[in-house]
Amino acid sequence: MVPRRLSVILIMLIISLWSTLGFSITEDEKNNIAVYEKAADGVVNITSIAVQLDFFFNPFPTQGSGSGSVIDLKGHILTNHHVVANAQKLEVTLADGSKWPAKLVGSDPDNDLAVIKIDAPREKLKVIPMGDSRNLRIGQKVLAIGNPFGLERTLTTGVISSLGRTIRSDAGYLIEDVIQTDAAINPGNSGGPLLNSEGEIIGINTAIISPSGGSVGIGFAIPVNTAKRIVPELISKGYVSYPYIGATIQSLIPEIAQFLKLKIDRGAMIAEVVKGGPADKAGLKGGTQRVQVGNMIVIVGGDVVVKADQQDVKTHDDLIRYIREKRPGDIILLKVYRKGDFKEIKVTLGERPRRR
């Protein structure tokens, strides 16, 4: 492997030679080189080994790979949940080719993020700084570094194609506010960083849409601000605590409201409440019967939430998103429609049972 200092010298000599021969490197190309030189050594290859059963129920090992980013000098590495899920053994390969056993620190299937840790000397660790994903713009340049098909530290470039996407993770959970990019992301890129032109992480590459299994220009990344919010909790206790109302919720739409002859036409219907859960303890009422409206089966007769802490609730997604931004133990004031009248009910949110 060529030492880092020598590789930089070689790049500079090539640039000089190109200039001598009349070739030129554009400012954009110079930026690509600078970002790669800044961040590549902080991107690691992650190998996971899991045990599965064959047709005759005999155990056999299977191996997978992905990417990750070094996020501190303690050896913490940020990657995807699906890269490390169900692994009996994890191994990390650093930029210098050294291999280190890794342990799972914490994982969050909801956002397809995980933190693992290696006990490598500080001088071997190159931290990639985290940026800010709040003010991203469609058309903004992005760069992805990862290990597609086992080819270590491969750079691809592109732009942000869309923002606020919702995708379903390998574990079956909906992930919201996802970044869509046309930077080529292939198997093995999962868990690697999506970078801005400053070489800062703005997303964690997580999935592609592809009929062939290769990149077709539609890739997705979890916003880095999501990671910044949950990583401290993953490191401190191994999982993320999510608020829990203990109810099944459906959207009230005008067609259903008209069918039921309600005074309101939109809201979040409480279909069922979990016995002993926060909604049940607060006195929220679930539905009492199933009816068919068009091609939909809905559970009716329960409370319909129209406001949460003075914020309008038009659909079940509105209520779920609002609750998701809270913490276990928070109290929310719900305005509900019940049997022709409105009333206010305070609900103390619990902690959602952990998903695995």
Catalytic residue numbers? 82, 112, 190
Report the C-alpha gap between 130 and 109 in whole angstroms: 21
310 three-state secondary structure: coil
Task: Please answer whether residues 68 and 92 qualify as being in contact, where contact means their C-beta atoms are separated by less than 8 angstroms.
Answer: yes
Q: 312 - beta bridge partners?
A: 307
- Please state the φ and ψ torsions of residue 254, each to the nearest 5 degrees: -55, -35
Integer-rounded Cα radius of gyration of the chain:
25
Helical H runs in 267-326? 278-282, 316-324
188: Cβ contacts below 8 Å, ≥ 6 apart:
65, 66, 67, 146, 147, 148, 149, 150, 151
- Please state the φ and ψ torsions of residue 262, each to the nearest 5 degrees: -90, 160
DSSP string for 180-196? EE-S---TT-TTPEEE-
**Structure tokens, 350:** 């619990």
C-alpha 109: how far from chain center: 8
Question: What does the angle CA 167 – CA 171 – CA 177 come to, to the nearest 5 degrees?
Answer: 25
Report the C-alpha gap between 94 and 121 in whole angstroms: 12
Report the C-alpha gap between 215 and 208 in whole angstroms: 7
Q: Which residue is it, tokens 């991107």?
A: 43
